[in-house]
Structure 1
Amino acid sequence: MHKDTKHAQSAALRGQIEDLTALVLVEYSRLTVAESEDLRGKFREAGCTYRVFKNSVIRYAVTGTHHEPITPLLKGVSGLAYNADDPGAPARVAREYAKANDKLRLKGAVVEGQMLAGETAGKLADMPGPREIKAKLLMLFKTPATRMVQVMQAAPRDFLRVLNAKKKKDEAAA
């Protein structure tokens, strides 16, 4: 590949990844074409972008960005996966696919300038997605209001119970 082509590809890649929170690097050696297409489909279903570049193109693209710590992992065959909305999604897809197919390995990831190599990159997969985070946040907002309504309803409800108990006691005495 000509050097100008590599620089053009790396400039385009830099534009795509510059503002991302996380990148995931996978090793896909010995995958068949069908397995590779299956992997791409799984990344697509999860809303991730998965592309295979020469290591030098990735190296040029991440130089000077907060993704630069991933540079030492750029050896052998490398696939780059990322998702702008859910940084943990590519790691989840790679981890699930690697469980079923030993030809794929999660090399590592970089999250906000921190490199996670090997098995520690799997921790990124455990990170909740945006839907889970929003659901937890809504529960946090909802809980105080729910408890306040319960407390406000408790006084009249308990007062009615006391009146009913008094009424039953008076009826039993009569």
Structure 2
Amino acid sequence: MPSEKILEQKRQQVAQLAEDFKKANVGVLVNYEGITVEKDTKLRKQLREAGCEYKVVKNTLLGLAFKEAGIEGLEEHLHGATAIAYSENGYVDAPKILSDYAKDNENFTVKAGFIDGDTVDSKSIDELAKLPPKEVLVAQVLGGLNGPIQGFANVCSGTLRSLVIALNAIAEKQSA
């Protein structure tokens, strides 16, 4: 039977994970079996640079943290070598990095995840990974809003141009 000190450490770890999951926009569960330490280090660096947390946690502690955070439906994916990456800074960084990594490493697979506390499957994580970054989406929206305004300005300037040409023709006709 574990000592009271170890049990308290595990309770604190579960509470911290649950708090992190409540704040996170997205979380991705992966099976990291069979990857080398070198590859794992590169993956961790990539996730850290993107502002994501990546942790290897015992499945039982992860299950308790999900339960405490109010995220249901991920318990069935808590088997084998499980790691989790999560981020409170954006929705696409962790899924994109992990999905790309899974394509290059056959033993590394995306199991499932959560988005704003709702459980999603691996297909949804892959779809999320295909989205462009936030900055690109904002630029696309602004470009879409700018198009009609620019078209209206072109129509107005075309009308003014036609009026000036017509007035100029009238002025030339009267002076001749």
Look up the match of 1:3.
7
Aligned to 2:36: 32
Residues 1:123 and 2:127 are matched in the alignment:
yes
TM-fit CA distance, 1:89: 1.3
Ranges in structure 2 where 5+ consecutive residues have no aligned partner: none
Letter in 1 for 2:105: N
Moved over 3 A (4+): 160-164
- The question of 1:134 aligning with 2:147 is answered no
**Residues 47, 97 of structure 2: 8 Å contact kept:** yes
AA at the equivalent of 2:31: E
Deviation, 1:66, is 4.3
CA drift of 1:113 comes to: 4.2
SS of the equivalent of 1:69 reads coil
3-state SS of paired residue (1:159): helix
**Equivalent residue number for residue 149 of structure 1:** 153
For normalisation by structure 1, the TM-score amounts to 0.83
Match of residue 73 from structure 1: 77
Identical pairs, percent:
26
Q: Helix, strand or coil: the match of 1:63? A: helix
Deviations, residues 61-97 of structure 1 (Å, cap 9, x unaligned): 1114342222221111111111212212111101111
Note the C-alpha offset of 1:50: 1.0
TM-score, L = length of structure 2:
0.82
Report Cα offsets for 1:82-122 as digits up to 9, x if no partner.
12122121111011111222121111112234433233431
Q: What letter corresponds to residue 101 of structure 2 in structure 1?
A: Y
Query: 1:41: which partner in 2?
Result: 45
